[in-house]
Structure 1
Amino acid sequence: MKAGADMEIAGKAVCVFMLLTIIRLRRTEGINRVSAHLGHSTVMTCRNETNITMVTWKTSPKAGRQCTLSYLIDSNKTEKINCSHRINWRSRPDWDHALEIQQVEMADEGNYTCEVVNADGNFHNPYHLTVLATHTHLPPSWYSAVSPRMALYCDDHGNPVCEAETEKPAAEISWVPQSNSTPRADSHSNGTVTVLSRFAARSSDGKNATCIVSHTTLNEAKSIDCSSPHRYLILCIAIVLSFLIIIMFAAVIYCLKLHGYRFCRKTKPPDIVPTYPLQDDTVEVEPYTTYVQKENAIYNSVSDLTLRQNLPQGQSPAT
């Protein structure tokens, strides 16, 4: 029972996935791809329907601003919003619904859609405009002497990088051995496009690679080896030298902190003990000596008198 329910859910999921895929493919197939040379004019037509009530062109360029052109058939009224003077109806919109872009610029590249409204509903006719910059088709005022170039170098991580600058369309870059990286394309205002591809090998040791550039104006192949041992040797030497410099710098700072006070601190002058002349000491001691001698003499006199008084009459004290 459970297995049957799981099978039913899986079948519904597959049906939904297939339906979305079909819708996406139909939308992709419905886009009309047009190209125009830089500086020239291009025209995009709109589908013819009966009993049309309104026609609207909506532009969505990559670099420029969006604009809208509308025509109301019942009131015979046109409306133009945010559109350049170069983008307009090819002729009278009441009988020709085509859109014309004069003097195509790189900023005009992008998506354009014509929407027709009638009693049966809305009908869309999408376009994708690609601007080409081939010098043989450019007028003299638009000419730019940009020659195709190719560059192959090693990045900071030792990975090969291939770069190609050409006129539109963009160049194709491939690697030998095969790389699983996705190229990046950047368009410029002068009509050129730069493609950059970074080699990403399936194995970690795939540093020796060959870049192949394919374009109508440039077909070239170059090889490069980014796994040179000298690169790692120089890197190791730089790391060791940096480590030694850091150690020496730390040692100098430590020595300065340890012995710096001997060089920077001011020395305190020694305490000076006052010295007095010998004569002054004698002068100060002599009065005290004289005073002691006088006291002793008085004491002796008093002692003798006391002794005479205490002796019997007629007896003299012994000396």
Structure 2
Amino acid sequence: MSKDLMSKEITYIIWRVGLVGNKQCQVGWQKSEGLLDTCTDGKSLHGISESWSYLHIPNFSERDVGIYMYEMPFAGGIHTCNVSVSITVPPSISSWLELRDNNSMVAVCAAEGGKPAADVTWRHAENESAVVTQWRSGGLFSVESRLKLPEGPTNATCVIKHPYWEAEKTLVPRHRKGLLDTVVCLLIVVSILMVLTALLFFIYKKLIMLRNYLITDRSAAKPEPVIHKPEIEGVEEVEPYASYVQRVNSIYNS
């Protein structure tokens, strides 16, 4: 315990905490009772002295948002103050163009994951109304504004305001680079496949032509087969002759 706390001039140091949801608790020190903690969520009093002290809030989150009232008496008076504690998270901003099926162009501006919600408007978009959508996720807010652009050139600019920034942010919607890169890559891949297919088909046709040429060439170069008749030694080839059989009549010869 700090020796300053033992000073007779200080009777107590206390933080009265009013959290979201009407939860009330106290963290501090009292001369008669010592340390005081009814919050029981890790908050603690640090750096205690006659001139200053601070309340430590570990793992600050949305549940710690609220009004913190500080009170400390000293010689000749009492010091009090009220502190409004909130969470301010800058959003992630982006803007792009979308082409619809009817060839109309829509400009989109988004501020995502901020707290509080960002203010999204359009500049230089006369007579054009935007459709604004807002949603909340995990305690953070996202805002998206869609503006239908007229035909022809336009200079619409998205303007985003948020308490985290001292000045407003301006974005000019462009065609999404990632989408264009994907389309270009697909076109390149398709072109390469078409070239390879044509090359393979050309090689296949050449191989077929070469095969047919080799078959034809072999057929023309092949000699006609010669049939040899066997020859028998000592036997001359003779002309066929007629033969007859003579009948002998035994009556006349007797």
With structure 1 as the length reference, what TM-score do the two structures score? 0.35
Larger % of helix: which?
A: 1
